[in-house]
Chains A and B, each alone.
Chain A
Amino acid sequence: MSPLQFWAYLLAASLCAIGIAGMLFFDNIIKKVIGFTLLSDGVNVMLTATGYLERGIVPIVLPGETTAEFAARAGLVFPIGIVLTNIVIGVSTTALMLALTMKLYRKYGTLSSSKILREVR
């Protein structure tokens, strides 16, 4: 494993950990949403780092290149597909979370999660 891939995995793990800590330990709902964004970013970096090849080339076929030498030197393409979808899904989920937050703020008048996400009987 090349040093860059190792440090990219460490970045992914740190972002996931910071994101989960943000979702758990902070009271404000917007901080929880930011934590979810950081978790999603961490997972994206982890997926991209899986597709990295040391001294590789970008997986886009240039004109005049054959398939064999492309396959030997290019990074993996499949994680790129997953991450593109994940980025868009992250925005959609964040938008839905914030829409529900705005509705709840209109009823309760506060953004503190201990007041609005408590158990409802």
Chain B
Amino acid sequence: MSVLDTIVEVLVSSTSTDIIAYVLIILSILGAIAALLQKDLIRATIIVGAESVALALIFHILLAPDLALTQAVVGTALLPGVIIIAIYKTRRTEED
């Protein structure tokens, strides 16, 4: 069971902020896959917005707090805002 051993060893030797980073990384990947599989486009945009928050926290743990601020503002308010305006003017659900 060397995979479990390495996982335990990594978790034990890392600080608590690193463990938050690992959880956020896994959530980001799952969120990215989920955002593309949605049929309702507004839901997909909201998932992208939530994932931008996770990415902002990851940027902070990777020693870049100014990126965390920029990504939090842009990825949560500006980018989903622009996409939602476009969805509002076109159509909300994906066609078959």
Contacts and interface: CB of A to CB of B under 8 A. Distances in A.
A99 to B, nearest CB: 8
Contacts, number: 141
Contact of A87 (B36, B44, B71, B86): B71
A91 B86 CA distance: 13
Interface residues of B, number: 45
15 contacts: A3-B13, A18-B36, A31-B44, A37-B48, A41-B51, A56-B63, A57-B63, A74-B63, A75-B64, A80-B64, A95-B82, A102-B89, A105-B91, A111-B95, A112-B95
A7 B25 contact: yes
Contact of B70 (A14, A87, A95): A87
B94 A98 contact: no
B21 interface: yes
Interface of B: 10, 13-14, 18, 21-22, 25, 28-29, 32-33, 35-36, 41, 44-45, 48, 51-52, 55, 58-59, 61-67, 70-71, 74-75, 78-79, 82-83, 85-87, 89-91, 94-95
Interface size class of chain A, counting residues whose CB lies under 8 Å from the partner chain? 35 or more
Contact of A101 (B61, B86, B94): B86
Interface in A21-36: 21-22, 26-28, 30-31, 33-35
A30 B83 CA distance: 8
Contact of A31 (B21, B82, B94): B94
